[in-house]
Chains A and B, each alone.
Chain A
């Protein structure tokens, strides 16, 4: 499918001479029939003997992933922690104190968070904390002061989703029979909410976390560009822009593998938490 896009890895503003173009196509195997190329590429990815990249001569996709994936992984994990740390308490509080200011304020803020894309939040945070207050860096990924804003930008964005999801499902659980029974038995309100209700209320958040986690650890093009982070997110986009077919394929395969892994983890976690699923 990626081969159907117009233009190729060797086309550029300055037209490449025909005889040089032929040479390059031959070297990178573009002159073979498409079916030969397909099976060769398939074999290369199965055996992990990856072909040379056209956009980074001398490197393979494995080199790029090894160099940039750990950065994105770190950023993704920080963001998810921030999202959960902010999102779940806000959601629980909003559900427990429904229709009070503890519900309205966090939920209004989360709606703003969902509506504001990272390319708005990111630069705003950078200007306020990086330039005006000079508390953090506005670029790079080396020291804690570099890592604060990108993690916060991504984390806040997802915290908003987590908060709304938590609130919604918590409200449903709070009104269910077993909670009423718990209250009737005289279990304290805090214990009812945090132990009994939260266990059921958190399930949609866990389902949401699966694909989100895979997406976050494979990098965010926007946040990596805004904060000049050498992660893998930028390679996803630039590989497509440069028509580097090998890099496109490898990064997409990585993403697919992570999605499957994350979904598997989510399933295991759900079974562990939900007695109904265990019985099935």
Chain B
């Protein structure tokens, strides 16, 4: 009897000891954090950098948005509204010559006044070729910026930015850009604190350590702790010009790579915001009417790109046949399961009033007919084709499903192969593929973020496809002053793209995440970027 009772007794003893060790005994971390006003944020992965000019990953963008503020900030609910940030007001002439009036009370977190000269310094840094900022091209809309970045121009004073005085900044663009204010929300446009940058090796040092040792920012929050693979904690910045609006007492960003682990942590009450949900769990949460679940449109596309240099894929009728033979609805319903919208264009609809022209949807009969016209009736003689994707269960399921559809409808055999991420990127860059999975998340809220990619010579266009008319339309759109006409030019270009199909759109990604109802002022946003100063936590039943 004693023998059988002893292990149980021991277990209870250990459990009691463990439960009493550490915070959150009895209740969970989320409740405690809600009371303290700390937002617990699942942030996907460890950001390699928190330098506004050097970050390249979404987890990095999220943290930098809390620590730094640009001329224009993210609006709390509407991506099309420019929210005044450091710039209090602005004027423009023909959408090309812009003047920004900076707030006189804008300060750095160390108390220094933030001036227009700091912005000039920051633009020079972001564009300096030695720094190697990967997103420097976001600034190429400034007159002479591209030449400076490519080393063709060495005198920065010839670049179209000027500090008229401490609080007035002018920017001259290469042409009229009506959506310029939207672009300014991108971190490459954010300021960095000049004397801190100089202290840690100067403006051109690509691996300066200032972000880890002495983060001086100008955003609503300051960096309190950054431990690799563990946590990035930010706390309110008392020097922020609008600090009275900031309601959170902090945000703890957790770099959780494993999405199943993130799901468990959320379920155990360790997070307010769960960034990603394993797709096999989505139907269950939907069925159970999970109160935390959110599924919202996002500015991101999933597509297959085709190597048009392969002889049998050069004929556009073959590419059209491949597209027409895909039942996108089935893929979204049976594999993705997250209410994604099927994609018949590369640009998601609803961006800045743009309606993208669409390619034809699922039509097996026409698909077979086009393939026959191209010389492969019932798939006869069609060379064995390879489809590659980066390793992921979801990509695999989509690829297998499309492989089956092409075999059943067109009679063609396609082998599928998964590649490790960097090997996959390398295969795409070297055009060592025939058909490859691909996707794109818009950098800013305007359709050309999806369309400039496919111009000849763009490094991201690894399909080998090139169309002079397409290139011309995109170039014309970039200098078109009339907003409506600009969208028409883009639509005309996308119509060519959707007819020639160097890429086969499949669906638009949704943002599928879970969030605790105590998080307030969190709105669906197509950019999925927040202005954290408006977000706050309110426990159920409290006032």
Instruction: State the A residues within 8 Å of B (CB).
Output: 5-8, 11-20, 23-24, 27, 52, 55-59, 64, 67-68, 123, 126-127, 129-131, 133-146, 148, 225-228, 230-231, 234-235, 241-243
Contacts and interface: CB of A to CB of B under 8 A. Distances in A.
B425 interface: yes
- Chain A contact residues, majority secondary structure: loop
A176 to B, nearest CB: 31
Nearest to A7: B422
A139 B28 CA distance: 12
Interface in B128-173: 129-130, 132-134, 136-137, 149-151
9 A-B pairs with least C-beta separation: A143-B22, A7-B422, A15-B459, A230-B230, A144-B21, A58-B209, A57-B207, A7-B426, A230-B229
B132 A27 contact: yes
B77 to A, nearest CB: 28
Given A16-B134, A68-B228, A23 B261 contact: no
Interface stretch (B83-91, B262-270, B463-471, B527-535): B262-270
5 contacts: A5-B422, A7-B422, A59-B212, A148-B18, A243-B422
Interface of B: 14-15, 17-19, 21-24, 28, 48-49, 51, 54, 56, 129-130, 132-134, 136-137, 149-151, 206-209, 211-212, 227-230, 254, 256-258, 260-261, 264-265, 267-268, 270, 420-427, 429, 439, 459-460, 462
A132 B134 CA distance: 46
A135 B459 contact: no
A230 B427 contact: no
B147 to A, nearest CB: 11
B150 A57 contact: no
A4 to B, nearest CB: 11
Contact of A58 (B15, B212, B254): B212
A24 B132 contact: yes
B261 A226 contact: yes
Contacts of A19: 129, 149-151
Given A20-B132, A57-B206, A6 B265 contact: no
Contact of B261 (A15, A141, A228): A228
Interface centre among B129, B207, B421 (most CB of A within 10 A): B207
Contacts of B133: 20
B48 A56 contact: yes
Given A27-B130, A231-B229, 17 more contacts: A6-B422, A7-B421, A11-B429, A12-B134, A15-B429, A15-B462, A23-B129, A23-B130, A52-B207, A56-B48, A57-B48, A131-B267, A131-B268, A139-B256, A139-B265, A230-B228, A243-B422
Contacts of B132: 20, 23-24, 27
Contact of B19 (A13, A27, A135, A225): A135
Given A11-B425, A15-B429, A56-B228, A143 B23 contact: yes
A140 B269 CA distance: 13
Contacts of B230: 141, 230
A44 to B, nearest CB: 15
A7 B270 CA distance: 36
Contacts, number: 156
Among A20, A64, A131, A135: residue with most chain B CB under 10 A: A20
Nearest to B201: A58
A220 B146 CA distance: 46
A10 to B, nearest CB: 9
Contact of B15 (A68, A131, A135, A146): A135
A154 B261 CA distance: 17
A56 B462 CA distance: 28
Contact of A137 (B22, B209, B261): B22
A16 B134 CA distance: 6
B257 A67 contact: no
B457 to A, nearest CB: 11
A244 B270 CA distance: 31
B150, B228, B427 — which one has the most chain A CB atoms within 10 A of its CB? Answer: B228
A64 B257 CA distance: 18
B227 A58 contact: no
A6 B427 contact: yes
Contacts of A231: 229
Given A58-B209, A67-B227, A225-B257, A145 B18 contact: yes
A135 B18 contact: yes
A11 B61 CA distance: 19
Contacts of A20: 129, 132-134, 136
A68 B228 CA distance: 8
A144 B136 contact: no
Nearest to A235: B229
A16 B206 CA distance: 15
Contact of A127 (B149, B264, B426): B264
Given A16-B134, A135-B19, A58 B208 contact: yes
A143 B129 CA distance: 46
A14 B56 contact: yes
A225 to B, nearest CB: 5
Contacts of A64: 228
Nearest to B462: A15
Contacts of B268: 126, 130-131, 134, 137-139
- Name which of A17, A68, A234 has the most chain B CB atoms within 10 A of its CB: A17
A6 B425 CA distance: 9
A137 B459 contact: no
B421 to A, nearest CB: 6
Max chain B Cβ within 10 angstroms of own Cβ: one of A15, A58, A135, A143: A58
Contacts of B264: 123, 126-127, 130-131, 138-139
Contacts of A235: 229
Contacts of A234: 229, 257
B425 A13 contact: yes
Contacts of B261: 138-139, 225-228
A3 to B, nearest CB: 12
B208 A14 contact: no
A55 B132 CA distance: 14
A129 B19 CA distance: 10
A51 to B, nearest CB: 10
A225 B258 contact: yes
